[in-house]
Amino acid sequence: MTIPTKYLHDRLILLLITVSVFLAFLTSIFIVLRLSSNHGNGYFVQYRADLGLSAFKTGSVGDIVAFIGFVFLVLALHVVLSLRSYHIHRQLSVTILSLGVLLMTLAFIVSNALLVLR
């Protein structure tokens, strides 16, 4: 797959990719720094509002680290989808990257909220 030169010279596309990469690394750094080895019960990994008193479900470190994999998967997929849709329409490509930024921002907020609960 060849990368169109217009894609690499589009400032808005490059700005959105830069923001996406920054959010991916920021999320992974915050998750790694918040993990501690002295958690005996595990981490809260889910919140189910319909369960009442047992709304919080615990999990292991691997469940929290899965957020890092999710963020980098979102980054890779949105960049590839944006690249492949650029020749169809520029605004479609910008929309795909913008939705990726939104999704990574929400992943950062959710992972931070789950790690704050101890």
The average pLDDT across 29-45 equals: 75
What integer best gives the mean pLDDT of the chain?
86
Query: Could you tell me the residue range of the domain that residue 17 belongs to?
Result: 5-35+60-116
Residue 105 inside a domain? The answer is: yes
Residue 53 inside a domain? The answer is: no
Residue 55 inside a domain? The answer is: no
Q: What is the pLDDT of residue 102?
A: 97
Confidence check: pLDDT of 22 > 80: yes
Residue 11 inside a domain? The answer is: yes
Residue 41 inside a domain? The answer is: no
pTM, two decimals, is 0.83
Q: What are phi and psi of 75, to 5 degrees?
A: -60, -50
Residue 103 inside a domain? The answer is: yes
Residue 48 inside a domain? The answer is: no
The average pLDDT across 22-33 equals: 94
- The total domain count for the chain is 1
